[in-house]
């Protein structure tokens, strides 16, 4: 029987007069999407193992408003933002970690203008820091000889210039990091950004996720690593489309680290 | 009577500069049709960007072949312009090679201009081959047919002709120096044109003088014409790349601006003490339009972006939507914005300084809904632009207009937004179930 996850909420800690080190912003995908929930759990397992004092908002969390804003609904975005900021400020949140680059970007860049000022980090940055501080250790054994390619999420990479944290973590796994022809600043989008996740694509000759998956498969990887729940979905669909699901898996960096820790 | 050429020269020079100035005036008036935006912040970083990106061409070399060729043409034109200064002084005062008193340094200058001119010719020929023989994909998108294609080639022809005239002028001058013609002082080094000079050996001195003068005049008149061609061409980037990189976005690429007008309304809605039945203030200004449907709704920096675009197509070739055959092309967004702005400008010109509505707008008449909804907001176009143009910001402003003014979002997105509004997630899940994952095994 697996250890049960310890997931304290801000409300519980607040009632007990405690303040966690960091708030884990789970996000909508991380809360509701079956694939993304696995990423959420893997990340929580690592946090539990490292004894990180954290909390989630739970039922008090609501969409950051990112998809509404990118779809052009600034009004809905700001309604969401102002409501979330009220909750975050009431709990005197100082630091936020999230496994979703869209939440990361919105919280970090677009909330300050509306009164929400927090130190916001992506979970790959947070994990890297835990590793550097010796709070987690990674045995790369089971990844030895495996080829991993990393897909840069647009809202982590180009949007916020975070390219190295996820790559540093992959290198720690003793795996061979192979780069796609379009990577880092020139990484190709998975096709989900700008609210595309929630609509059918416009007419064209190909789907973007298939194009990106083809670029990933060119590197002959065993694992396609992602750092975003939406990229994960898009690439997983792409791998299925190319009928490669028996030989290639799409995994989040948090899942790789959790696996390396045997969690 | 000796002064006639000088007077003609002065008239041509004056005319060229006055016409150019009137076009610059029109250009700035059109750019100022855009909404105001404060760009007085972070001066040092802005100067730094301008030096690095525009002057230093750092983003051009991301693609090494066109990047290096472009640097050659760019350096050629900047450096050879020192020669233009001499030509202007000579033309006005009837002197010949006024800077020749520099001696050895003058020889060095003329020598390096010649080598650069030759390199420019080579680069221009390769550019022409890339556009017309190899037919690179980014020069073949639908928006590149017609005038844009002609414009691109015309610029190459003009540059080629100017360089050939420059070398012909020097070659005939060199030949005249050898023949010790009066007025042609021995000055300069001619590492390239000395190989052209033998062509003139058999000719009479007066014929060579004729060639030298013709080349000299055509060269300077050509440069003045080229200067005035800029306003009608994509080639404006040679000037506007500098202000455009200065005024470029400094914030993280993922940070989209929060609309102040919306913030005011949201605060009012959330304010428990606000009176929901309050009569509207009769003197209140008409509320601002949300988002953009025409060029006047955009900010002036976005309009400057449009004039700066030189249609290289790096944005479009990096765009995931364009790569997979969707209608969206970020370059077309910029070209459409410029073309519509020009149309509005001409409207103002013909209507004595006042814009008379013409029943057209940027949205719909130039840019279709389909193009706007194909964008993934991935910032690849913004990253690719060598002169800091931001097509994404225009796409987002127009989406805002579609959604907030016209409720014209695709139905899937309306569902998504309805879900966020009702249950705080883009999918129809209950907010009370947000923590269920922690109890599932």
Contacting residues of A for B429, CB less than 8 Å apart: 31-32
The answer to whether the CB of B320 falls within 8 A of the CB of B314 is no
Which of A28, A33, A71 is nearest residue B409 as measured by Cβ atoms?
Answer: A71
Query: Any chain B CB within 8 A of the CB of A41?
Result: yes
Considering the domain boundaries, does residue A200 fall inside one?
A: yes
3-class SS letters over B161-220? HHHHHHHHHHHHHHHHHHCCCCCCCCCCCCCCHHHCHHHHCCCCHHHHHHHHHHHHHHHH
Domain shared by A23 and A100, yes or no: yes
CA distance A140 to chain B (A): 26
Domain shared by B202 and B265, yes or no: no
Considering the domain boundaries, does residue B43 fall inside one?
A: no
Domain shared by A142 and A255, yes or no: yes
Domain shared by A97 and A158, yes or no: no
Domain boundary among A87, A110, A129: A129
Residue B183: predicted pLDDT: 85
Considering the domain boundaries, does residue B44 fall inside one?
A: no
User: Could you report the per-residue pLDDT of B422-437, keeping only the tens digit for each?
Assistant: 999 999 999 999 999 9
The answer to whether the CB of B332 falls within 8 A of the CB of B372 is no
Residue with tokens 């970083």: B45
Domain shared by A113 and A166, yes or no: no
Sign of CA dihedral A187, A191, A192, A193: positive
Which residues touch A260 (CB under 8 Å, ≥6 apart)?
A138, A139, A140, A141, A142, A143, A173
Domain shared by B314 and B221, yes or no: no
Task: State the Cα–Cα distance between residues B298 and A251, nearest whole angstrom.
Answer: 41
Considering the domain boundaries, does residue A171 fall inside one?
A: yes
Q: In percent, how much of chain B has pLDDT > 70?
A: 100
Which residues touch B440 (CB under 8 Å, ≥6 apart)?
A37
Q: Beta strand pairing status for A119-122 and A249-252?
A: unpaired
Residue A2: predicted pLDDT: 53
B433 and A32 within 8 Å at the Cβ level: the answer is: yes
Helix-, strand-, coil-residue percentages of chain B, each rounded to 5: 65, 0, 30
CA-based nearest residue in chain B for residue A115: B263
The answer to whether the CB of B382 falls within 8 A of the CB of B253 is yes
User: Could you report the per-residue pLDDT of A159-174, keeping only the tens digit for each?
Assistant: 999 999 999 999 999 8
Considering the domain boundaries, does residue A64 fall inside one?
A: yes
**Structural tokens at position A68:** 């509404």
Average pLDDT value for residue range B200-227: 93
Domain shared by A96 and A196, yes or no: no
Q: Which of B259, B394, B426 to mutate against chain A (most A CBs within 10 Å)?
A: B426
User: Could you report the per-residue pLDDT of B364-418, keeping only the tens digit for each?
Assistant: 999 999 999 999 999 999 999 999 999 999 999 999 999 999 999 999 999 999 9
Domain boundary among A104, A129, A154: A129
Task: State the Cα–Cα distance between residues B384 and A189, nearest whole angstrom.
Answer: 14
Q: Which residues in chain A (44-83) have CB-CB distances under 8 A to chain B?
A: 44, 56, 58-59, 61-63, 65, 67-76, 78-80, 82
Q: Which residues in chain A (140-179) have CB-CB distances under 8 A to chain B?
A: 154-155, 158-161
Residue B284 pLDDT greater than 80, yes or no? no
Which of A74, A192, A193 is nearest residue B262 as measured by Cβ atoms?
Answer: A74
User: Could you report the per-residue pLDDT of A82-116, keeping only the tens digit for each?
Assistant: 999 999 999 999 999 999 999 999 999 999 999 99
CA distances B194 to B121, B173, B189, B420, Å, are 17, 10, 9, 75
H-helix or E-strand containing B287? none
**Of the listed ranges B81-95, B108-122, B305-319, B357-371, the one predicted with least confidence:** B81-95
Considering the domain boundaries, does residue A5 fall inside one?
A: no
Q: How high is the mean pLDDT of chain B?
A: 94
Average pLDDT value for residue range A47-56: 96
Domain shared by A184 and A124, yes or no: no
Considering the domain boundaries, does residue A3 fall inside one?
A: no
Considering the domain boundaries, does residue B21 fall inside one?
A: yes
B254 and A191 within 8 Å at the Cβ level: the answer is: no
Sign of CA dihedral B183, B188, B189, B195: negative
Which residues touch B178 (CB under 8 Å, ≥6 apart)?
B197
Indicate the pLDDT class of residue B1, thresholds 50, 70 and 90: low
The answer to whether the CB of B421 falls within 8 A of the CB of A52 is no
Among B123, B119, B115, B116, CA closest to B191 = B115
**Of the listed ranges A199-203, A237-241, B272-276, the one predicted with least confidence:** B272-276
Q: Which residues in chain B (117-146) have CB-CB distances under 8 A to chain A?
A: none
Q: Which of A157, A194, A231, A238 to mutate against chain B (most B CBs within 10 Å)?
A: A194
Would the pTM of this model clear 0.90, i.e. be above it?
yes
User: Could you report the per-residue pLDDT of A112-163, keeping only the tens digit for each?
Assistant: 999 999 999 999 999 999 999 999 988 767 888 899 999 999 999 999 999 9
Domain shared by A37 and A124, yes or no: yes
Considering the domain boundaries, does residue A27 fall inside one?
A: yes
Residue B39 pLDDT greater than 80, yes or no? yes
Burial code (b: 16+ CB inside 10 Å, e: under 16) for B180-205 equals ebeebeebbbbebbeebbeebeeeee
Domain shared by B113 and B201, yes or no: yes
Domain shared by A125 and A218, yes or no: no
Residue with tokens 């303040």: A19
Domain shared by A125 and A45, yes or no: yes
**Structural tokens at position B39:** 């760009």
Residue A1 pLDDT greater than 50, yes or no? no
Average pLDDT value for residue range A178-206: 96
Residue B217: predicted pLDDT: 94
Considering the domain boundaries, does residue B251 fall inside one?
A: no
The answer to whether the CB of A110 falls within 8 A of the CB of A92 is no
Max CA separation in chain A (angstroms): 57
CA distance A234 to chain B (A): 13
User: Could you report the per-residue pLDDT of B111-169, keeping only the tens digit for each?
Assistant: 999 999 999 999 999 999 999 999 999 999 999 999 999 999 999 999 999 999 999 99
Domain shared by B213 and B319, yes or no: no
Domain shared by B296 and B393, yes or no: yes
Considering the domain boundaries, does residue B250 fall inside one?
A: no
CA-based nearest residue in chain A for residue B254: A159
Considering the domain boundaries, does residue B435 fall inside one?
A: no
Among A213, A218, A163, A170, CA closest to A186 = A163
User: Could you report the per-residue pLDDT of B228-242, keeping only the tens digit for each?
Assistant: 999 999 999 999 999
Residue B252 pLDDT greater than 50, yes or no? yes
Considering the domain boundaries, does residue B242 fall inside one?
A: no
Which of A30, A59, A185 is nearest residue B432 as measured by Cβ atoms?
Answer: A59
Count of structural domains, chain A = 2
Which residues touch A128 (CB under 8 Å, ≥6 apart)?
A165, A168, A169
Domain shared by A95 and A146, yes or no: no
Considering the domain boundaries, does residue B440 fall inside one?
A: no
CATH number at residue B363: 1.10.1060
The answer to whether the CB of A219 falls within 8 A of the CB of A179 is yes
Count of structural domains, chain B = 2
Domain assignment of residue B409, given as a range: 260-272+288-423
B57: left (phi over 0), alpha (psi -120 to 50) or beta: left
Domain shared by B174 and B266, yes or no: no
Q: Which of B258, B319, B395 to mutate against chain A (most A CBs within 10 Å)?
A: B258
Task: State the Cα–Cα distance between residues B418 and B396, nearest whole angstrom.
Answer: 20
Residue A3: predicted pLDDT: 64
Average pLDDT value for residue range B254-279: 87
Residue B13: predicted pLDDT: 95
Q: Which residues in chain A (87-126) have CB-CB distances under 8 A to chain B?
A: 105, 108-110, 113-114
Residue B328: predicted pLDDT: 97
B404 and A62 within 8 Å at the Cβ level: the answer is: no
Considering the domain boundaries, does residue A2 fall inside one?
A: no
Task: State the DSSP code for B435.
Answer: T
CATH number at residue A152: 3.40.50
Residue A79 pLDDT greater than 70, yes or no? yes
Taking one residue from A and the other from B, the number of pairs with CB-CB distance under 8 angstroms is: 219
Q: How high is the mean pLDDT of chain A?
A: 95
In B202-291, at which residue ranges do the beta strands (DSSP E only) sit? none
HSE, side-chain direction, 13 A CA sphere, residue A173: 29
Which of A41, A71, A158 is nearest residue B413 as measured by Cβ atoms?
Answer: A71
CA distance B217 to chain A (A): 47
Domain shared by B9 and B124, yes or no: yes
Domain boundary among A66, A101, A129: A129
Which residues touch A229 (CB under 8 Å, ≥6 apart)?
A27, A29, A30, A33, A35, A36, A39, A99, A100, A252
Task: State the Cα–Cα distance between residues B373 and B344, nearest whole angstrom.
Answer: 25
Domain shared by B10 and B136, yes or no: yes
Domain shared by B228 and B332, yes or no: no
3-class SS letters over A96-115? EEECCHHHHHHHHHHCHHHC
* Long-range contacts at B403-406 (CB < 8 A, ≥ 24 apart): B403/A71, B403/A72, B403/A73, B403/B291, B404/A72, B404/A73, B404/A74, B404/A75, B404/B290, B404/B291, B405/B289, B405/B290, B405/B291, B405/B293
Domain assignment of residue A167, given as a range: 138-260
Domain shared by A171 and A76, yes or no: no
CA distance A53 to chain B (A): 16
Task: State the Cα–Cα distance between residues A174 and A104, nearest whole angstrom.
Answer: 28
Query: Any chain A CB within 8 A of the CB of B64?
Result: no
A44 and B267 within 8 Å at the Cβ level: the answer is: no
Which of A44, A69, A196 is nearest residue B256 as measured by Cβ atoms?
Answer: A69
The answer to whether the CB of A211 falls within 8 A of the CB of B376 is no
H-helix or E-strand containing B279? none
Query: Any chain A CB within 8 A of the CB of B358?
Result: no
H-helix or E-strand containing A120? strand A119-122
Domain shared by B225 and B267, yes or no: no
Q: Beta strand pairing status for A223-226 and A249-252?
A: parallel
Domain shared by A122 and A163, yes or no: no
Residue A218 pLDDT greater than 90, yes or no? yes
């Amino acid at each position: 029987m697996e250890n049960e996850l310890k997931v304290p909420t801000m409300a519980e800690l607040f009632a007990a007069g405690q303040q966690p080190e960091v708030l884990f912003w789970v996000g909508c995908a991380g809360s509701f999407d079956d694939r993304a929930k696995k990423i959420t759990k893997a990340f929580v397992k690592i946090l539990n193992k490292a004894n990180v004092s954290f909390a989630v908002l739970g039922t008090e969390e609501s969409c950051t408003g990112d998809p509404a804003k990118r779809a052009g609904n600034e009004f809905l975005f700001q309604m969401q933002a102002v409501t979330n900021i009220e909750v975050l400020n009431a709990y005197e949140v100082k630091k936020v970690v999230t496994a979703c680059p869209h939440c990361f970007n919105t919280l970090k860049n677009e909330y300050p203008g509306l009164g929400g000022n927090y130190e916001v980090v992506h979970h790959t940055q947070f994990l890297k820091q835990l590793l550097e501080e010796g709070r987690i250790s990674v045995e790369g054994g089971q990844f030895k000889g495996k080829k991993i390619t990393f897909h840069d999420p647009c809202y982590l990479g180009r949007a916020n210039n975070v390219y190295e944290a996820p790559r540093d973590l992959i290198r720690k796994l003793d795996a061979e990091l192979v780069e796609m022809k379009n990577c880092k600043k020139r990484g190709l989008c998975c096709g989900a950004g700008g609210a595309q996740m929630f609509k059918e694509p416009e007419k064209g000759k190909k789907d973007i996720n298939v194009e990106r998956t083809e670029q990933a498969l060119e590197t002959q990887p065993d694992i396609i690593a992602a750092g975003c729940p939406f990229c994960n979905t898009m690439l997983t669909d792409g791998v299925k489309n190319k009928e490669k699901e028996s030989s290639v898996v799409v995994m989040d960096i948090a899942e790789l680290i959790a696996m390396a820790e045997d969690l | 009577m000796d002064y006639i050429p000088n007077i003609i020269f002065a008239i041509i020079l004056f005319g060229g500069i006055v016409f150019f100035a009137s076009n610059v005036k029109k250009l700035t008036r059109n750019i100022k049709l855009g909404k105001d935006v404060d760009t007085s912040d972070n001066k040092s970083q802005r100067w730094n960007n301008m030096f690095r990106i525009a002057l230093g061409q750092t983003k051009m070399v991301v693609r090494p072949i066109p990047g290096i060729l472009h640097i050659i043409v760019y350096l050629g034109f900047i450096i050879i312009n020192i020669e233009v200064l001499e030509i202007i002084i000579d033309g006005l005062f009837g002197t010949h090679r006024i800077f020749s008193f520099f001696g050895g340094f003058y020889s060095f200058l003329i020598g390096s201009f010649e080598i650069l001119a030759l390199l420019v010719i080579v680069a221009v020929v390769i550019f022409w081959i890339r556009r017309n023989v190899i037919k690179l994909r980014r020069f073949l998108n639908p928006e590149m047919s017609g005038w844009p294609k002609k414009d691109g080639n015309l610029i190459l022809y003009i540059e080629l002709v100017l360089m050939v005239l420059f070398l012909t002028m020097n070659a005939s001058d060199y030949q005249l120096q050898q023949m010790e013609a009066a007025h042609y002082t021995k000055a300069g080094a001619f590492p390239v044109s000395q190989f052209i000079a033998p062509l003139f050996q058999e000719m009479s001195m007066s014929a060579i003088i004729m060639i030298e003068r013709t080349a000299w005049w055509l060269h300077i008149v050509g440069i003045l014409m080229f200067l005035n061609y800029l306003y009608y061409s994509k080639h404006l980037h040679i000037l506007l790349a500098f202000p455009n990189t200065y005024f470029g976005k400094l914030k993280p690429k993922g940070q989209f601006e929060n609309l102040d007008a919306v913030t005011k309304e949201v605060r009012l809605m959330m304010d428990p003490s606000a009176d929901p039945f309050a009569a509207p203030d009769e003197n209140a200004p008409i509320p601002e339009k949300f988002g953009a449907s025409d060029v006047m709704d955009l900010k002036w920096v976005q309009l400057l972006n449009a004039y700066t675009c030189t249609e290289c197509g790096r944005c479009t070739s990096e765009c995931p939507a364009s790569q997979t055959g969707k209608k969206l092309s970020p370059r077309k967004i910029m070209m459409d914005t410029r073309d519509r702005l020009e149309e509005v400008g001409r409207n103002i010109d013909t209507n004595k300084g006042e814009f008379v509505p013409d029943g057209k707008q940027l949205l719909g008449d130039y840019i279709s809904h389909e193009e706007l909804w194909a964008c993934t907001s991935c910032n690849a176009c913004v990253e690719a632009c060598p002169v800091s143009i931001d097509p994404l910001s225009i796409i987002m402003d127009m989406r805002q207009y579609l959604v907030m003014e016209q409720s014209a979002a695709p139905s899937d997105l309306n569902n998504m937004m309805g879900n966020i509004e009702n249950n705080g997630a883009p999918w129809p899940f209950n907010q009370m179930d947000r923590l269920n994952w922690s109890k599932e095994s």
